[in-house]
Amino acid sequence: MRSVRALTAVALSLFAASNVAALAAEPKKGGILKVYHRDSPASASIHEEATYSVNIPFMPIFNNLVMYKQDVAQNSMDSIVPDLAESWAWSDDKKKLSFKLRQGVKWHDGKPFTSADVKCTFDMLMGKSQQKFRKNPRKSWYDEVVDVTPSGDFEVAFNLKRSQPALLALLASGYTPVYPCHASPGDMRTKPIGTGPFKFVEFKANESIKITRNPDYWKKGLPHLDGIEYTIITNRSTAILGFISGQFDMTFPTEVSIPLLKEVKTQAPKAVCVVEPVNVSTNIIVNSSSPPFDNLDIRRAMAMALDRKAFVSILFEGQADIGGTMLPAPGGLWAMPKEMLEKIPGYGPDINANRDEARKLMAKAGYGPEKRLVVKVATRNIPIYRDPAIILIDQLKSIHIDGELEVVETANWFSKVARKDYALGLNLTGNAVDDPDQSFYENYSCGSERNYTNYCNKDIEKLFGEQSAETDVAKRKKLVWEIDKRLQEDVARPIIYHSRMGSCWQPHVKGVTIMVNSSYNGYRYEDLWMDK
């Protein structure tokens, strides 16, 4: 009998404890989330910018047609959920993607959301409308879209030239919000209007960005927070001190470097910190249209001289990833297997053997200890560019290349690259969506605006199309691996590493998910709440 009582008592106490836990997990309403922002964005218009300095503060103002589930860290087709669209369907030939839109949704100024807004947004993105964006950096995402046709107020279809399963992934990105027809691009740069969980309050350049709860949000009960305030602090030390002293609830996401993370953990031991891949690769851009890098042997030698582990160890204390164009696993979904990667020249584990091979190639091109190749290594005058460039110069010495660092002010970087006024450069490439369509077409397709090196290989271009149209994921993966391998063998844009960065928040902030294969898509913040 005694044992029965004891068991009952234990069961009751467990039940009570589980109830307490459930209650503790119940989101609390209210509070202003305070976050520091790393810089003052150029504008508030997500469609016109190409940095998550804009996505992070302004994504909560908007909705997409579909979006990546905000509490799932890895973006994939399986994690795409309806947003302004209630549902979607592909036609049998996979050349038409139709959406049924949510009814009763209102813009922040009270006007109703309809299919016309979707058409306006994508017509503008495709450059088909009267109104134009000042800048349209992701126009190429919609190259396969013929048109967007509304059918009544609450249905819309994307008609494609060919099947492109990845279109859905592009539409789910934080870079693809739906804009209202009735607001001009200029208005969207300065006082954006959305349908999202938060309304725009003010954006004071170099000072702050404030957004407040949308009481009429169509998702009932959300958001939990009353608002979010971003204080713009460009000085990293000041910003981190502000977080350590508890004046900010969260650091700017994926902005804390590994050495600074140690500092945070020491001085604010209760802070929750994670280090995740950001899907930004550090790579070498080579001007293959003029000597000496028009010689494939020299380009290959250079790629083979890289000791990627040394970069990762020096700059990230081991916490970065080595791979090809696509983000490496486990964060990335499309990276080639390790055994395949290691067979690519320069990726093998024996650095000395790789460099022996590289020196032979250099000798074939006429360079050796007596006749060294002197080149300038251009890069932007920003530490995350400069630091790896210095290591690169050091490593190239081993194959008789004497590099001289040429730092270029940000204002002149892309103009210089576009003019082909460089021999060798060190660049960073961010990918908004972990999908080959975004990466391949944007960075390697013939004629693409962001294909800085003008790399153009018609055979590979054909493979881009094949993988893009392939609906069988397993088959598509194999094609992607093959393309990635060939891009590395062609020394199209040798990838050095994929960086990882830290994010921290105070323990009272709940519901934060840092995405592991994109740093552009996880900032809707409607589920975030504060336990205080």
Residues that bind another protein (CB under 8 A): 40, 42-43, 48-51, 132, 134-137, 186, 189-190, 203-207, 231-235, 237-238, 241-242, 244-247, 267, 409-415, 418, 430, 449-450
- Phi, psi (deg, nearest 5) at residue 296: -60, -35
Helix (H, G, I), strand (E, B) or coil at 30: coil
Residue placing its CB nearer to another protein in the complex, 95 or 450: 450
Quote the tokens at residue 221.
């009960």
Residue placing its CB nearer to another protein in the complex, 100 or 508: 508
Type of residue numbered 295: N
CB of 447 to another protein, least distance (A): 12
Residue placing its CB nearer to another protein in the complex, 87 or 267: 267
CB of 511 to another protein, least distance (A): 25
Q: In the 3-class helix/strand/coil scheme, how is 127-174 assigned residue by residue?
A: CCCCCCCCCCCCHHHHCCEEEEEECCCCEEEEEECCCCCCHHHHHCCC
End-to-end CA gap in the chain: 44
Residue placing its CB nearer to another protein in the complex, 156 or 211: 211
Say whether the peptide bond before residue 253 is cis (omega within 30 degrees of 0): no
Residue placing its CB nearer to another protein in the complex, 354 or 518: 518
CB of 260 to another protein, least distance (A): 14
- Find the radius of gyration of the CA atoms of the chain: 25
Helices 236-244 and 258-267, axial angle in degrees (round to 10)? 30
CB of 178 to another protein, least distance (A): 20
CB of 93 to another protein, least distance (A): 33
CB of 82 to another protein, least distance (A): 29
Residues 57, 193, 138: CA angle, nearest 5 degrees: 65
CB of 22 to another protein, least distance (A): 33
Residue placing its CB nearer to another protein in the complex, 405 or 428: 428
Residue placing its CB nearer to another protein in the complex, 69 or 191: 191
